Amino acid sequence: MSDMWTTEWPREAGWYWVSHVSVRGREEAPRLEPCLVRVASNGKSPFYVASGAFLFKSETVYAQWQKMVVPDAPAREATR
């Protein structure tokens, strides 16, 4: 995924920014929040977790995605 926003739901595991509106919040402004994308054990079905809740395509009116840059954790020596 590039540095541009896309409406295509990610299929690769990782952290993404998502700007979305749910079916229930149809009148709300889009929410921007981090989303963890995991791939199911069968390797075929990714699932999406935003703000501690699952995010479903069927319940989402609008969504745009951007891959999040997450730094590596510091080396243990650097934390002493």
Per-residue DSSP letter, 6: B
How many domains does the structure of the chain reveal?
Answer: 1
The residues, ordered by sequence, that sit 6+ positions from 38 with a Cβ below 8 Å of its Cβ are: 13, 46, 47, 49
Does residue 56 lie in a domain region? yes
Range of the domain at 62: 14-69
Structure confidence at residue 1 as a pLDDT band (50, 70, 90): very low
Does residue 27 lie in a domain region? yes
Strand intervals (E) in 1-80: 14-22, 31-39, 46-50, 53-54, 60-67
Give 55-78 pLDDT, tens digit per residue.
888 888 888 999 998 888 888 775
